[in-house]
Amino acid sequence: MIELKEAGLTENESKVYLALLDLGPSLAGQISRKTGLHRRTVYDVNEMLIKKGLIGYIKQNNRRLFNAVNPNRILDIIKEKENVVKDVVPDLMERYSLTKEKEETNFYKGKEGLKSVFEDQLNYKEILILGASVLAYDVLKFYFKWYDKTRKSRKIKTRIIASDKKIKRIALAEIRYLPEKYASPVSVNIYGDKVTIILWNDKEPIAIVIKNKEISEGYRNYFELMWKIGKS
Instruction: State mean pLDDT over 199-217.
Output: 92
Dihedral sign (CA 126, 131, 134, 138): negative
Indicate whether 182 and 222 sit together in one domain.
Answer: yes
Domain boundary among 72, 91, 111: 72
Indicate whether 120 and 217 sit together in one domain.
Answer: yes
Indicate whether 119 and 175 sit together in one domain.
Answer: yes
The yes-or-no verdict on residue 5 having pLDDT over 80 is no
Indicate whether 61 and 127 sit together in one domain.
Answer: no
Helix (H) or strand (E) holding 160: strand 157-162
The reported pLDDT for the residue numbered 100 is 55
Is residue 167 domain-resident? yes
The reported pLDDT for the residue numbered 127 is 97
Indicate whether 221 and 165 sit together in one domain.
Answer: yes
Indicate whether 112 and 64 sit together in one domain.
Answer: no
Domain boundary among 72, 91, 113: 72
Indicate whether 120 and 213 sit together in one domain.
Answer: yes
The reported pLDDT for the residue numbered 79 is 79
Indicate whether 21 and 117 sit together in one domain.
Answer: no
Distance CA 196, CA 153 (A): 23
Counted domains in the chain: 2
Indicate whether 107 and 219 sit together in one domain.
Answer: yes
Is residue 30 domain-resident? yes
Confidence of residue 90 (pLDDT cuts 50, 70, 90): confident
Indicate whether 121 and 212 sit together in one domain.
Answer: yes
Is residue 84 domain-resident? no
Confidence of residue 101 (pLDDT cuts 50, 70, 90): low
Is residue 6 domain-resident? yes
Q: What is the CATH number of the domain that holds 64?
A: 1.10.10.10
Read off the pTM.
0.57
Indicate whether 217 and 107 sit together in one domain.
Answer: yes
Q: What are phi and psi of 100, to 5 degrees?
A: -75, -10
Distance CA 114, CA 200 (A): 10
Is residue 93 domain-resident? no
Domain limits at 158? 103-229
Indicate whether 134 and 25 sit together in one domain.
Answer: no
Is residue 78 domain-resident? no
Rg (CA), the chain: 26
Q: What is the CATH number of the domain that holds 192?
A: 3.30.870.10
Q: What is the mean pLDDT of the chain?
A: 88
Is residue 80 domain-resident? no
Distance CA 67, CA 26 (A): 7
| Residue 12 or residue 102, greater confidence | 12
Domain boundary among 20, 51, 72: 72
The amino acid sitting at 232 is S
Is residue 142 domain-resident? yes
Query: Which of 21-35, 141-155, 162-176, 211-225 comes out lowest in average pLDDT?
Result: 162-176
Q: Which residues contact 147 (CB under 8 A, 6 or more apart)?
A: 118, 119, 122
